[in-house]
Amino acid sequence: MMTRSHCYCFYGIFTIYLSLLIHTLASATLNLCQQDQRDALLEFRDEFVIDEFDPSPWNKSSDCCLWKHVRCDDKNGQVISLDLHDIFLNSSLKINSSLFKLQYLRHLNLSSCNLQGKIPSSLGNLSHLTVVDLSFNELVGEISASIENLNHLRYFSVEYNHLTEMIPSSLGNLSCLTFLDLSSNELVGEIPTSIGYLKNLRELHLGGNHFIGEIPSSLGNLSRLLELELWHNHLVGEVPPSIGNLNELRVMQLYQNTLSGNIPILLANLTKLSDISLYYNSFSSTLPSNMSGFHNLEYFLVSENSLHGPFPKSLFSNPLLQLVDLEGNHFTGPIEFANTSSSSSELQYLGLSRNGFDGPIPESISQYFNLRELDLSYNNFTGSLPRSISKLASLTDLKLTNNKLKGEVPSFFWRFPTLILSHNLFSSFENSSQETLIQMLDLSSNSFQGPFPQWICKLKRLSLLDLSNNLFNGSIPPCLRNSIVSLTELNLSNNSFSGTVPQIFGNATKLESLDVSHNQLHGNFPKSLINCTSLQFVNMESNKIKDKFPSWLGSLPFLHVLILKSNEFYGSLYHRHMTMGFQSLRIIDVSHNDFTGTLPPHYFSTWREMSIFTEGAYMANLLRYYSSDLLNYRSMEMVNKGVDTSSNPTSQQRKESSESEEHMFSWVAAAIAYGPGVFCGMVIGHIFFTSRIREWFTEKFGPRKFRVTVGGR
C-alpha cells in the first residue's frame, strides 16, 4: 500500500519531469530555423556544384539549425553563422545570391573555397556581420566600398586573392574593426590615412601588395595595435616617428620595401616587440646602443640594409631570442657575446655574413647551445677555429667561407651536415674515426695538400663535394665510389691529381656536375659516366686525357655542357651512327685537341636545346653549378666579337676546294657554342666556310644572328 509520503514523492518527480519535457519541447520549437532562412540556404547551395561535403542533411524536411556548417541564434532560430571554409564552390558570388537573404548573418567564412569573380556590393547589405573571411580564393577587382555599411564588423580578411585597385578610404569608418588582412593581393596606390581611424584595430596586415608612397603617420594613432605588417610593397621614405607610439606592438614586419631612417628612434619605445623584420630596405643608421630591454624579442631580422657600427652585443642578452640576421650590412669590428647563463639560450640562427667583422671567432659563442645555423661567411675573421664550437650539439649548418681563418680543421667539424669552409687559409684537418653526417662539404680554395683524404670515402650521405683550388696530389681513389652514390656535385678541379679517372660512376645516377679540370689526369675517358643519367655538366679541361671523342655521352638526356678543351683527344668528332645524340647540349668546347675530319651540316640538327632556351634562365641555371669560367662564353649574348681571318684559307685556297667540301666544315679543334635560339659561334682553329654552309646556317638560325669568333675565347 502506497503511503502518503510516497505519493508526494511520486508527484514531485512527475512534476519535475513534466517541466523538463515542456522546456525541451519549447526549446526545440524555438531552435527550428525560419522557412525563409532554410530556403535561402538551399538556394545558395544550388548556385554551386559542391562535392566536398554530404548535402543530404541540407533538405527541406530537416532543421537547418542542425545542418553542418550552419549555426543559428538560440532565441529566434535565425541563421547567424555560415562556415564553408575549404569547400570548393568553384564559382563566383552573384550580386543577387541567396546568401544575401540571410539578413541576420554575423559570421561568414568562405575561405579557401576557390571563389572567383568580384566581391559583390550586396555583401554590404548584411549589416549584422561581425566576421567576414574570404581569404585564399581567386577574387579579383576592387574591395567594394559597400563594406563601410558593416558597422559591426570586427574581422575582415581577403588575403591571398587577386584584388586590385586602391583601398577604399571608407574602410576607415569601420570603427569596430579589430582585425584587417588585405595581404598578398595586387592592391595599388597609397595606404589611406583613414586606416589610422580604426582605434580598436589589433592586427593590420597589408603586406605583399603594390602600395607606394610613405607610411601614413596616422597609423601611430592605433594605440591598441599588436601586429603591423607592411612587407613587400614599394613604400619609401622614413618610418614616421608616430609609429614609436605603438607601445603595445608585438610584431613589426616592414621588410622588402625602400624604407630609410633611424632605427634607434623607431625602436626606442617598442620594447614589447617579439618580431622585428626590417630586412631588404635602405636603413643606414646604427643600431640602438642598448638593446637589452627587448625581453620578448624572438626575431631580429635586419639583413640587406646599410646599417653600420659595432656588433650589437647587448641584443644577445634577451633570453627569448631565436633568429638574428644581420647579413649584408656594413657592421665592423670584432664580435663578442655577454657571458651570462640566461643569454639567448633559445638562439637557433645567427647570420652575420657579408659584413666587415674581424678578429677571432670568440669562444663565448659556445653558450648558444641550441644554435642550428651559423653563417659567418664573407667577413674578415682571422685566427684558428675555436674548440668551444664542439659544444654546439644542435648545429647542423656551418658557413665560414671567404674569411682569413687558418690552421687545422678540428675533427668534430665532420659531424655537421653542412660544412662550408671555402676561400680561407686552412691547411690541414683532423681525421675522424666517428661516423659523420656530412651531406655538403666544401673545402675549396684553401691550402690543403697531400693525397686525397681517404676518410671522405666513408661519407655515405654526401650530396656535394668540392675540393677544388687546393694543393691535393696523387690519384683519385677508387673507394670514392662508396660516396658517389648520393653525390649531385663533384668538383676536384685545380689541384695536382694524377693517374687515370677511376671507373667509379656505375651507381652515380644522381650526379649532375663533374669537374676534374686543370689537373694532371691521363688515360681514357671514364666510360662508367654512361650510367650518370642526371648528368648536366662535365668539365675535363686541361688534363692529359687521351681517347676518342665520347660520342656515347650523347645519350645522356640532360647533358648541357661538355668541356674537353686542352687534352689529347683524337680522331673524328662525327660518328654516323650517332644521329639523335646531344639533344640537351648547350655548350661544347673541344678545342686544343687532336681531332680531325669533317662535320656534315646536319650534324647539329638534332641538338634541339640550343634553339629553345632563353638567355637569362639559361645562364642562371648553368652558373648554379659551374665556375665563372663559363662567363667567357658570353658570345651567347649575341655580341659580335669580330672575325679573325688570319688563320683562314686564302681566296686561292678556297677556289681549290672540292665540291664535296662545300657541304662540310674542314676543321681542326673546334670549340662551338650555341646561344638562345641562334648559332653564336666560337670556333677556335682553322675554319673553312663555303657559301653553301653559310646559307644553311642562315636558314637554320635566321639572318643577322650568325656570329663567329676565330681565335681565343
- CA–CA dist 404, 400 (Å, integer): 9
* Contacts of range 658-663, beta carbons closer than 8 Å, 24 or more positions apart: 661/598, 661/688, 661/690, 662/690, 662/691, 662/692, 662/693, 663/600, 663/601, 663/690, 663/692, 663/693
Q: Could you read off the pLDDT of 337-347 as tens digits, one per residue?
A: 876 555 457 99
Q: Is the pLDDT of residue 262 over 50?
A: yes
Q: Tell me which residue of 184, 465, 174, 200 sits closest to 192, measured CA to CA.
A: 174
**Residues 369, 345: contact at Cβ < 8 Å?**
yes
DSSP strand pairing (537-539 vs 425-429): unpaired
Residues 522-560 have pLDDT tens digits of: 999 999 999 999 999 999 999 999 999 998 998 899 999
Residue 678 in this model has a pLDDT that exceeds 60: no
Element (H, E) at 252: strand 251-253
CB atoms within 10 A of CB 238: 16
Tell me what pLDDT residue 566 has.
96
For the stretch 93-116, pLDDT in tens is 999 999 999 999 999 999 999 999
Per-residue pLDDT, 707:
30
What confidence tens digit (pLDDT) does each residue in 263-312 have? 878 888 899 999 999 999 999 999 998 898 899 999 999 999 999 999 99
Place of cell 549555426: 71
The confidence score (pLDDT) of residue 80 equals 95
SS3 64: helix
Taking the CA atoms of residue 287, residue 291, residue 297 and residue 300 in that order, the dihedral angle to the nearest 10 degrees is 20
Q: How confident is the model at residue 353 (pLDDT cuts 50, 70, 90)?
A: very high
Instruction: Give 700's pLDDT tier (boundaries 50, 70, 90).
Output: very low
- The more confident residue out of 149 and 602 is 149
CA angle at residue 688 from 682 to 694, to 5 degrees?
75
Per-domain residue ranges of the chain? 11-151, 164-285, 296-447, 594-701
- CA dihedral defined by 198, 201, 207, 212, rounded to 10 degrees? 20
pLDDT over threshold 60, residue 73: yes
The separation between the first and the last C-alpha atoms of the chain, rounded to the nearest angstrom, is 121
Sign of CA dihedral 263, 216, 130, 112: negative
Q: Does the structure show a pLDDT above 60 at 706?
A: no
Q: Does residue 160 or residue 618 have the better pLDDT?
A: 160
**Three-class SS state of 456:** helix
Q: Do residues 303 and 327 touch, judged by C-beta distance below 8 A?
A: yes
Give the model confidence (pLDDT) of 384-409 as tens digits.
999 899 899 899 999 999 999 999 99
Superfamily holding 296-447: Ribonuclease Inhibitor (3.80.10.10)
DSSP symbols for 281-349: S---SPPPS--TT-TT--EEE--SS--EES--GGGGG-TT--EEE--SSEEEE-------TTTTTT--E
In angstroms, the Cα distances linking 316 to 102, 262, 264, 311, 365 are: 55, 21, 16, 10, 11
Strand partners, 524: none
- The pLDDT of residue 605 is 67
* Per-residue model confidence (pLDDT) at position 611: 58
Count of Cβ atoms closer than 10 Å to residue 712 Cβ: 11
374 - beta bridge partners? 350, 398
Rounded distance between C-alpha atoms, residue 597 and residue 669, angstroms: 10
pTM metric for this prediction: 0.80
| pLDDT per position as a tens digit, 424-472 | 999 998 876 566 788 999 999 999 999 999 888 888 889 999 999 999 9
Q: Residue 245: what residue type?
A: N
- Cα–Cα distance measured from residue 513 to residue 534, given in angstroms and rounded to the nearest whole number: 9
Q: What's the rounded Cα separation, in Å, for the pair 270 and 56?
A: 54
The answer to which of 3-12, 248-257, 416-425 has the lowest mean pLDDT is 3-12
Q: pLDDT-derived band of residue 474, with 50, 70 and 90 as boundaries?
A: very high
Confidence of residue 642 (pLDDT cuts 50, 70, 90): very low
pLDDT band at 52 (very low <50, low <70, confident <90, very high): low
Mean per-residue pLDDT of the chain: 82
The whole-number average pLDDT for the span 244-272 is 92
Q: Class of 164-285 per CATH?
A: alpha beta
**In the chain, what percentage of residues exceed pLDDT 70?**
77
Cα distances from 469 to residues 5, 382, 621, 708, in angstroms, run: 105, 20, 23, 32
Dist CA 313 CA 606 (whole Å) = 62
pLDDT at 584: 86
Check if 164-285 and 296-447 are the same fold.
yes
Distance CA 553, CA 85 (A): 53
pLDDT, tens digit (0-9, with 9 covering 90-100), for 577-624 = 666 678 888 888 999 999 988 777 676 666 666 655 455 555 555 555
In angstroms, what CA-CA distances link 521 with 10, 440, 495, 496?
Answer: 106, 25, 10, 8
The CATH label, of 3.80.10.10, 3.40.1350.10, 1.10.645.10, 3.40.605.10, for the domain at 11-151 is: 3.80.10.10
User: Which range has highest mean pLDDT (130-139, 548-557, 678-687, 689-698)?
Assistant: 130-139
CA angle 627, 628, 630 (to 5 degrees): 90
Q: Are 609 and 586 in contact (CB under 8 A)?
A: yes
